[in-house]
Amino acid sequence: ADSNGLYKVHPPTCCGGCCVNCCAEGNPCCGRGCCKVPFHIFPADQAKTDSGAEHIGKILKRPKSLGTELFTDADAFDVTFPSDATAAEKGLLMGGAIFINACFFEENGQGDS
């Protein structure tokens, strides 16, 4: 088994890598949850992955519509796969989208009953 990674996945940053650039998709920010938050997919061996680097795919959390925000807690993601990705690699990236949602967008639940 190969122990090397297949992809690097992370959001674009600003301020020298200190902050996530949540408006990198060209949308104006007007409050929490309104911006598209991209996580770019890079080949594992690509050295340059900061803002402006060429990416081969992306995982994008879409902003919620008013109806979705009011009546559900569903999140929607668009995944653009690398053109040469196998079915197993696509499944891995779908799992990555779920992991990104759990790590970055879900509240910790402390205090919920």
pLDDT in tens, 45-60: 988 887 777 899 999 8
Q: Is the pLDDT of residue 80 over 90?
A: yes
Please check whether residue 96 is in contact with residue 82, taking contact to mean a CB–CB distance below 8 angstroms.
Answer: no
Which residue ranges make up each domain of the chain?
7-105
Question: What's the whole-number mean pLDDT along residues 9-22?
Answer: 74
Taking 60 as the threshold, does the pLDDT of residue 34 lie above it?
no
Q: HSE-up of 74 (CA within 13 Å, CB side)?
A: 8
As a whole-number percent, the residues of the chain with pLDDT over 70 amount to: 76
Q: What is the mean pLDDT of the chain?
A: 79
pLDDT score for 83: 94
Contact in structure between 76 and 63 (CB atoms under 8 Å): no
Region 60-89 average pLDDT: 85
pTM for the predicted model, two decimal places: 0.74
